[in-house]
Structure 1
Amino acid sequence: MTLTVPQANAMLDELFAPWVRDLRLTVERVELGAATLRMPFDPRLARVGGTVCGQALMALADTAMVFVISSALGGFKPMTTVNQSTNFMRAIAGRDVIAEGRILRLGRTMAFGEVFLRPEGDDAPSAHVASAYALVGEPPKTPAAPPSPH
């Protein structure tokens, strides 16, 4: 099963905390072991000088990795961040942030990946994020359909 962009965007609404949904993220691309997300610029996420704050960038990268791993698994499976290491290389100000992530290694109980963050319209990275995730359980079960009256 391949995760599609519409399924991934539905996951944003169904699986993430309200404050993550408040970032107004969108999944723009998803393919086997990779995903691209967008975080629209919002002055509420900017610090002094108009640059996007590191906390918002790290939340974007963490969220992007959920889709990277889910795409590698063929769908969502419960997971938790074990480690996230962020190197900020330059500021992003006044532009949407693009997160491009890929899986580095997918095991039975652990997944490793990386995300590059960049301002929209610029190919040079502004941050590099390396992450490790524990795969902690089975996906939520869909309730069985009620029996047919016929």
Structure 2
Amino acid sequence: MTVKMTADDLQGFLAETFPQVQGDFVIAALAAQSITVQMPVADRHLRPGGTVSGPAMFALADVTAYLIILANIGPKALAVTTNCSIDFMRKPAAGQMLICEARLLKLGRALAVVDALIYSAGQAAPVARASLTYAIPPG
């Protein structure tokens, strides 16, 4: 299976459709069934205690899932998250890049399922794991 959108296509689509997050997410690698997205950690991503907040990690997992799905179905802005389960397993290091590696597990006509692991740069073990389901718009 070949992708319908390249990494450059996806970055452009994200910048055009969601300008509020421009620069927050960088595609590091893309294949037909997998993607790696990086998120530079800024002060706005931190919570008390000097760690990355859960909402920031959720955003990374969600955007990464969205991008691997769009890579396979094309630029359909109305693909939406219908379910997400996320496990926060370790404290990510403040000031480090977060890296999300996601795999497209199922791509159907109406639903897509993605598994994502989030790493803190310099740590071998994942800091979070997410399972996401997306609804794909008809047509």
> Is the shorter-chain TM-score for this pair beyond 0.5, marking a shared fold?
yes
Counterparts of 1:71-110 in structure 2, within 5 Å, are 71-73=71-73, 75-77=74-76, 78-94=78-94, 95-110=96-111
Aligned to 2:16: 14
How far 1:17 sits from its partner (Å)?
Answer: 5.4
Structure 1: segments with no counterpart, 5+ residues: 139-150
SS state of the match for residue 24, structure 2? Answer: coil
Of stretches 115-124 and 100-109 in structure 1, the one that deviates more from structure 2 is 115-124
Equivalence for 1:30? 30
Structure 2 gaps of 5+ residues are none
Q: Percent identity?
A: 33
Structure 1 segments (4+ residues) deviating >3 Å: none
TM-score with structure 1 length normalisation? 0.83
User: 1:76-100 CA deviation, whole Å, 9 max, x = no partner?
Assistant: 2231100000000011122110011
Partner Cα distance (1:12, 1:123) in 2: 29
How many residue pairs get matched? Answer: 135
How far apart in 2 are the matches of 1:27 and 1:132?
Answer: 20
Contact kept, 8 Å, 2:115 with 2:132, in 1: the verdict is yes
CA distance in structure 2 between the aligned counterparts of 1:76 and 1:123, rounded to whole angstroms? 33
- 1:79–1:137 Cα contact (<8 Å) kept: no
